[in-house]
Chains A and B, each alone.
Chain A
Amino acid sequence: MSRLFSRSNGVSEKRLNILIIDDNEQITKMISSFLDMSNHECTVVNEGKEGLESIKTKQYDSIILDLAMPEYDGYKILETLKTEDPTQLPKIIILTASNIPLDTVRRFKELGIASCLQKPVDIDQLLTKIKAVAG
């Protein structure tokens, strides 16, 4: 199945290693199915604290991070990462259904967040962002 979505135009694409941190299990399942079909490797975590542990223990080409999560949210993850090592922030795409004020978007950029998207996002656009971030 993955061959169908690999957009093969003769050139084989790099298989990316992606982490999704989002408390919405439906969405994480769907995105991971889509990424899997597109021949990428996907790790799903539905809880903030566990997500932070995953970031610390393994290197990912790209991380899709939700902001609004119960108990340990995306903001806390970013804050911890920034406090621990502000120079080594992983490649993060924020994907959230929350309203994000403009100055917060600005602060995210200053922090080095690769992209900030508000749900619903076109799935092709998401893949383009993931590839761009992964370099």
Chain B
Amino acid sequence: MNSPSVPSNDAAPLLELRDLKKSYENGRIEALRGVSLTIAAGDFLAISGASGSGKSTILHLLGGLDTPTEGAVLFRGQHVGKSQNGVPSIDLDTYRARWVGFIFQSFHLLPSLTAMENVQVPMLGNKAHSHHREGRARALLVELGLEQRLRQYPSQLSAGERQRVAIARSLVNDPQVLLADEPTGNLDSVNSDKILQLLAEIQARRGMTLIMVTHDPDIAASAPRHVIMKDGRICN
């Protein structure tokens, strides 16, 4: 797959969070209380913290799933979402479709589709030819060791296999940033290790930026870069 054209400002960091605040229920609940963070291309960053510390909120804002109450998320110097102060912006749908891949704790595969079909879903409706979609999905699943499981439905796959299908799906549009929300949270220790190793290999091989949220301090410590969240702030 040809990589889509990257927003123009090459001097800017890949991702930048500027004094990010997020509150709910008219400010009654403050999930983020001013988070600033710079993430370079190729970083492998783990975000850890207790439940309610704001780590998932950061991931949602980084992934363009939600918008901040205050502050900004910048991707290569462009605002993700609405433009502010004349800074160019990138639309949320385009951002999610082209630059970001998501991996969820509960895999979130579509039960009525096979592994091959699940991987093709992000490409449906774009201009990719059907042969290209199929070839791309097959190549990724083979790369992740699922060549014998292409036609299986999620219910016929083990938890580890499901997460590998979800990883293949997250890679299908060739994103620059991979966001993983507790990717091992539903796996046993053996599968958990395998998935972590797989993610690290993918990140290294492709030179991608990997941002992983986890509540497990050991997993977080295994990442080259690690931030700890507490009460909506970075505390390390």
Do A and B come from the same complex? no
Interface residues of B (CB under 8 A from A): none
> A residues engaging B (CB < 8 A)?
none
